[in-house]
Every structure is written in C-alpha cells, then in structure tokens.
Amino acid sequence: MATIDDVQPFLDMSHEDRLSAWYEEYYRKTFGIGPEEATSLRSDAQAAFNRWLQREGMVKRLCAQLDYCAKREKYQRGAELAAIVAEALAPIGDIDMRGACAAATLLIELGFDTLCECEADSNTGNDDT
C-alpha cells in the first residue's frame, strides 16, 4: 500500500526529477535494464510518459476506478491524494510502487484534475503538497 511517506519524496522533487524517477522504473520494467545502461543517449522522458498514458488509457481508467474527483475533494493533503492514486496506478500501469508514486505526483502536477474534468472547488486544499 502506498503511504504518505512513499509519495512525499516525489512531492519534494522537481518535475524533471519526478519524470526521471518514473522513466527509470518504467524502462527497467519494460526492458530489464535502466535507460542509462541501454544507451548513452537520453530519451525524451516526457514524451515516453505521455505515450504511456495514452497507450494504456491510464487517465481514463484511473478517473473511473478511483472516482478521482470525489477523492480529490475528500483528501485534503496532496501527499494523501498522491498515495491513493499511486496505489491504484501500480496494477493498472503494471509498474512498481516507486514508479507509481512518481507517476501519481506527475499526474497531479500536470493537471489530473483537468484531465478527469473535475469541477473547480476552492476548498479542496490541493495546494497543500
């Protein structure tokens, strides 16, 4: 189970570091080695993340499975919400918990609220990450 302690390090990272953490886990799961071991050229992690989301229908599946908009309003802290999303994302995305935590924080940062078409609510506390 994902906990606040699992996701907090990712919330404290920059966007690039989150993306890099997800990409490392995704690449290892997919190919059995890390991206740096496979080639000296660094792939575009953001493009890979976007393709992964689209190919797997990740956002649509998460929105439906989690009833994301309701969870967003229920969990006041960004870390709690990220832990909930990561827990659901691990089996859907077939990635380990580290990759799921990185992906969950990326989704929330990149506008998961908009992607799930959540109504704006100034009392969600989503700014408390």
DSSP string covering 98-112, please?
HHHHHHHHHHHHTTH
Q: Is residue 105 in some structural domain?
A: yes
Query: Has residue 125 been placed in a domain?
Result: no
Q: What pLDDT, on a 0 to 100 scale, did the predictor assign at position 87? A: 93
Domain count of the fold of the chain:
1
Domain annotation covers residue 129: no
Contact assessment for residue 57 and residue 46, using Cβ atoms and an 8 Å cutoff = no
pLDDT at residue 103, as a whole number: 92
Residue 57's alpha-carbon distances to 53, 62, 115, in angstroms, are 6, 9, 12
For residue 124, tell me if it sits in a domain. no
The answer to whether residue 123 sits within a structural domain is no
Under a CB-based contact definition with an 8 Å cutoff, are residues 99 and 26 in contact?
yes
Asked if the structure places residue 127 within a domain, the reply is no
How do the pLDDT tens digits run along the chain, 129 residues long?
Answer: 788 898 999 999 999 889 888 888 887 777 666 666 556 445 677 888 888 888 778 888 888 888 888 877 777 677 888 898 899 989 988 888 999 999 999 988 877 778 888 887 544 444 444
Domain of residue 88: give its range: 4-35+45-115
pLDDT of residue 86: 92
What pLDDT is recorded for position 54? 84
Residue 13 lies in a domain: yes
In a domain, 122, yes or no: no
> What is the pLDDT, as a whole number, of residue 101?
93
Using CA atoms, how far residue 44 sits from 41, 49, 70, 74, 114, in Å, is 10, 9, 33, 35, 24
